[in-house]
Amino acid sequence: MNSRLKFLLLNLFLLCSLSAMAQEKINIGEKQAISSAILNEKREIWIHLPKTYNDSSISPAKYPVIYLLDGEINFEYYTGMSDFLARPPYADMPECIVVGIKNTERTRDLTPTKSQKKSPVNPNVILFGDSGESENFVRFIQEELKPFISKNYRTQDYSILVGHSFGGLFAVNVLLTHPEYFNAYVANDPSLWWDNKVLISKTKSYLEKNKTFPAHKFLYVSQANNEEQNKNWNSEMTQAIEEFKGIVEKNGSLNYKHHFFESEVHGTVSYPGNYDALKFIFKGFRTDIKKLSKNPQLLEEEYKRFSEKAGSNFTPSETYLNVVLKFMKSNDFKESEDYFINLKNSLYPKIK
Amino acid sequence: MNSRLKFLLLNLFLLCSLSAMAQEKINIGEKQAISSAILNEKREIWIHLPKTYNDSSISPAKYPVIYLLDGEINFEYYTGMSDFLARPPYADMPECIVVGIKNTERTRDLTPTKSQKKSPVNPNVILFGDSGESENFVRFIQEELKPFISKNYRTQDYSILVGHSFGGLFAVNVLLTHPEYFNAYVANDPSLWWDNKVLISKTKSYLEKNKTFPAHKFLYVSQANNEEQNKNWNSEMTQAIEEFKGIVEKNGSLNYKHHFFESEVHGTVSYPGNYDALKFIFKGFRTDIKKLSKNPQLLEEEYKRFSEKAGSNFTPSETYLNVVLKFMKSNDFKESEDYFINLKNSLYPKIK
């Protein structure tokens, strides 16, 4: 063997060792880049697949998709949270794909109108000069990002949009302008004060014209206890969120939850808000495995009820049915076990 | 070039491409194996380093360590949560290293005494045969795992033990038998019913002998709303947790918080419990950056107060000081900026 060959082999060996070590890393997703013609720029997105996505022991399943704004800040806790909440047998929600969108020009993308504001700390500084292009950004999500995700991953036709602050403003605006784009919207401490409360006016106009929100849509709004609310623009923020709440609750046609977090400020409220939001959106999804031992058909009844409420068809996952079957078997509930074997075979027929 | 060489080069090229793709994965930690002489087995641990751990723009810092039981279930959301909670300028807690411990024989490791129980579902089944070796397991953590972590990572001498169910039982038992091992203990819906409530007796004996708990120790206990509590062993669980609460609160010497979660069951309570626990343990850690503009020395006062309460010395991190400096500079608070430049230079002197 010549020395050049030896050198190459040594390199090969080192690379293999490195790649073996890399397997010991704990991965929660991957970064991908999309060239957006609408935004005329490359966008980085972070994609998390749920635990069972590549489980070859079950039939390939389809998953709802959560679109998460400010991806670089929220992706890591959000994906851990949604996976934990989807764990059988205590699953509060279905397993979901999470798509985090990283910012480039945040204010430009998330605000609905062009507006400016003098800095509350120093009036010589003009804030938010580059703003008002949220319609482009939502077109990017709807016409470029969603098709990319659906093409490359197994998706169920159910999606949620999650945002905080300007991202919450954006989520509310999408609900008002394109309610059909998502099934549920999450707005954490949304900046509804934006541009003289332009979204409050828009909400009023929307309801004057349409009378009600479309059926089966969900909106969750969290509100922080901004200590500084009496000092600067947070006062406007609080007032606008409360005005919006009044209008939506009075109308009464939207599946709406508002929650005020006493011990959170603007920068911390997303975390408990996102948890509470998923509990709200998927309320009725969790089934009690113990009750199924006596009353196995309850499972399909509850999924039917939940699907009607959510406006999309949800079925028990094969993973969940496997947990149910294990429970019935180990506790000798023979009739229920047979029932769920049949249900599993009908929902997930194995090709022979 | 001969064909063998070409083949090798092709392989090299492919490996390099794979390794470039691997960089696009989102990693939150790595798995390591420790050979334990005490347990006579190899143990897998999952290690998460905080965001700034490898930031070469700041001086190498030391970090508190959180030891997380049932690592394989809790690691992913817990690390996302602790990082999010530690984000400046809203940091509710310091950045921490998280060490998840994966189970092998869970019941053996986490229970303090040998005990058995007839299955509440089928009395012919005897549960928990292999139990009662928690003293070995805590020795593994204290004498093998902690030195391994301190040797390989930059650790501050401050640690937290976090457990759920049997893991909560374990945490309470360590507090009673080796209170000096950790600064704070988290017990989510702990199985204090274990072995005829052996830990209730132990708590009583401990307080008869010592009168009070050691200073600066923290214990957080969450309690789930177990719907089935009147049907099987969860009734004992509820009663035991409440009895323990009564004893500890009456004694009054422990930094103790108990929280009942109305809408959580045994399998879901860890998630909000762990969040609430960190907020409790690190209460007083968060500082208000706006107040610092007028009163810069407030920062050291608050850190001093918190350090005294926690029984360990905490100082503002360099990352936090950089955020404070940026805020002072951009808002033209010149005096405060100078103050924090001096503080940063004294805490983190740059070698010239």
- Return the closest-CA partner of residue B48 out of B23, B27, B62: B27
For residue A44, what are the β-bridge partners? A33
Chain A residues with beta carbon closer than 8 angstroms to that of B265: 90
Residues B220 and B327 in one domain: no
Residues A56 and A191 in one domain: yes
Residues A344 and A200 in one domain: no
Residue A27 touches chain B, beta carbons under 8 Å: yes
Chain B residues with beta carbon closer than 8 angstroms to that of A46: 26
CB A80 within 8 A of CB A50: no
Residues A142 and A220 in one domain: yes
* Residue pLDDT, tens place only, A240-260: 999 999 999 999 999 999 999
Residue B75 touches chain A, beta carbons under 8 Å: yes
- Give the domain-ending residue among A286, A305, A329: A286
Of A19, A26, A83, the CB nearest to B15: A19
* ipTM score assigned to the predicted complex: 0.88
Phi, psi of A118 (to 5 degrees): -75, 140
Residues A319 and A198 in one domain: no
A 211-230 residues inside an 8 A Cβ radius of B: 227-228
pLDDT of B303 reads 97
* Residue pLDDT, tens place only, B299-309: 999 999 999 99
Residue B126 touches chain A, beta carbons under 8 Å: no
For residue A82, give both structure tokens: 């949604």
Of B24, B78, B268, the CB nearest to A30: B24
Cα distances (angstroms) measured from residue A213 to each of A205, A252, B304: 12, 9, 53
Q: Do residue A77 and residue B84 have CB atoms under 8 angstroms apart?
A: yes
Residue B251 touches chain A, beta carbons under 8 Å: no
Cα distances (angstroms) measured from residue A248 to each of A55, A245, A278, B240: 42, 5, 20, 45
pLDDT of B11 reads 60
Chain A residues with beta carbon closer than 8 angstroms to that of B32: 24
Of A15, A77, A85, the CB nearest to B80: A77
Within a domain: B14: no
Phi, psi of B82 (to 5 degrees): -70, -35
Residue A8 touches chain B, beta carbons under 8 Å: yes
Residues A280 and A311 in one domain: no
Minimal-distance CA residue of chain A relative to B15? A15
- Give the domain-ending residue among B235, B251, B286: B286
Structural domain count, chain A? 2
For residue B161, give both structure tokens: 């033990």
pLDDT of B129 reads 75
Within a domain: A99: yes
pLDDT of A332 reads 87
CB A38 within 8 A of CB A143: yes
Within a domain: A297: yes
Residues A133 and A211 in one domain: yes
How confident is residue B128, by pLDDT bands cut at 50, 70 and 90? confident
pLDDT of A16 reads 46
Residues B193 and B94 in one domain: yes
For residue B98, what are the β-bridge partners? B48, B66
CATH number at residue B216: 3.40.50.1820
Q: Please state, in angstroms and rounded to a whole number, the distance separating the CA atoms of residues A147 and B198.
A: 58
For residue A256, give both structure tokens: 């709406």
Residue B25 touches chain A, beta carbons under 8 Å: yes
Beta-carbon contacts of residue B240 (< 8 Å; ≥ 6 apart) = B191, B192, B193, B197, B199, B200
Residue B83 touches chain A, beta carbons under 8 Å: yes
Within a domain: A257: yes
Residues A113 and A44 in one domain: yes
Within a domain: A3: no
Residues A276 and A292 in one domain: no
Q: Do residue B121 and residue A331 have CB atoms under 8 angstroms apart?
A: yes
Within a domain: A17: no
Using only C-alpha atoms, chain B has a radius of gyration, in whole angstroms, of 24
For the beta carbon of residue A90, count every other beta carbon within 10 angstroms: 19
Residues A126 and A83 in one domain: yes
Within a domain: A229: yes
Least confident of A315-319, B148-152, B223-227: B223-227
How confident is residue B20, by pLDDT bands cut at 50, 70 and 90? very low
pLDDT digits (tens), chain A, 352 positions: 566 666 666 565 555 444 444 448 999 999 999 999 999 999 999 999 999 999 999 999 999 999 999 999 999 999 999 999 999 988 999 999 999 999 999 999 999 999 877 776 667 667 777 889 999 999 999 999 999 999 999 999 999 999 999 999 999 999 999 999 999 999 999 999 999 999 999 999 999 999 999 999 999 999 998 765 444 445 788 889 999 999 999 999 999 999 999 889 888 999 999 999 999 999 999 998 888 988 999 999 999 999 999 999 999 999 999 999 999 998 889 999 999 999 999 999 986 5
pLDDT of A229 reads 46
Q: Do residue A288 and residue B227 have CB atoms under 8 angstroms apart?
A: yes
Residues B224 and B280 in one domain: yes
Least confident of A77-81, B284-288, B322-326: B284-288
Within a domain: B181: yes
- Give the domain-ending residue among B254, B271, B286: B286
Terminal alpha carbon distance of chain B: 51
Q: Is the pLDDT of residue B5 over 70?
A: no
- Domain residues for the domain of B340 are 288-352
pLDDT of B21 reads 42
Mean pLDDT of all residues in B101-117 = 93
